[in-house]
Amino acid sequence: MSSRRWLNPPIVMIVGSTLAGIVFLIFAGRGPVYDLIMRIVNFTVLLGVLIYFVRKPAVEGMRNSIESVRKMLSDAEEARKHAEARMKEAEDRLAKVDEETEALIIAAHKESEVEKERVLAEAEEAVQRLKGEARVYIELELKKAQDLLRREVAGSAMDIAEEIIRNNVKPEDQKRFIIEYLEKLEAS
């Protein structure tokens, strides 16, 4: 810090002026060396004045620039972290979408299996119902056929019995049957 104190502009100006005076006393004559030294002294004085007046704004400007760069870096870092978080969130959502898609496919497969079983059960129930209806219909038709067959057999039996009676019953048997029938009617 002590070396920076010597760079203070007022001190530089005083030292420069003193040196200029010493140089002027030593080199009272005008020659090329004198011109060179005077230029150096003038430059030093001008530099001291510039440093004195420009140092604070330049330092402030540099500080502001440094702070601005730091803020930009901080903002960029924050934006990067935010972008990484959003990317991670998007990746998580994408992973969840894959999981949800897989779950939906599995659920749809299970649902289709349940639906398949339900449709097969309904079809089996319809088949059983149709079998039952067919069985009832067949039994009805069988009874109709049996009744028809009995009627035809009975009719044929009557015809055959009538034929047998005609051929085997003689007129005196007929008289006896009529008398027995009439006696039964009178008794009732």
Decide which of 26 and 182 is more confident.
Answer: 182
Domain region containing 77 = 2-147
> Any idea which residue has 């639906």 for tokens?
115
In this predicted model, what pLDDT tens digit does every residue of 95-118 receive, in sequence order?
A: 788 788 888 899 989 999 999 899
**Pairwise CA distance, residues 120 & 86, whole Å:** 49
Asked if 13 and 48 count as a contact pair (C-beta separation under 8 A), the reply is: yes
Mean pLDDT of 13-38: 67
Query: Would 159 be classed as within a structural domain?
Result: no
Reported confidence tier of residue 1, pLDDT bands at 50, 70, 90: very low
Query: Would 174 be classed as within a structural domain?
Result: no
E strand or H helix that includes residue 76: helix 32-168
**Pairwise CA distance, residues 20 & 31, whole Å:** 15
- 163, pLDDT greater than 70: yes
- 85, pLDDT greater than 90: yes
Query: Would 161 be classed as within a structural domain?
Result: no
- 2, pLDDT greater than 60: no
- 141, pLDDT greater than 80: yes
Query: Would 132 be classed as within a structural domain?
Result: yes
Q: 31's torsion region: left (phi>0), alpha (psi -120 to 50) or beta?
A: beta
User: What pLDDT is attached to residue 4?
Assistant: 54
User: What pLDDT is attached to residue 75?
Assistant: 92
Asked if 50 and 16 count as a contact pair (C-beta separation under 8 A), the reply is: no
Query: Would 128 be classed as within a structural domain?
Result: yes
**Predicted model pTM:** 0.35
In the chain, how many domains are there? 1
Query: Would 168 be classed as within a structural domain?
Result: no
Query: Would 131 be classed as within a structural domain?
Result: yes
Mean pLDDT of 129-147: 90
Query: Would 112 be classed as within a structural domain?
Result: yes
**Pairwise CA distance, residues 60 & 52, whole Å:** 14
Percent of the chain with pLDDT over 70: 82
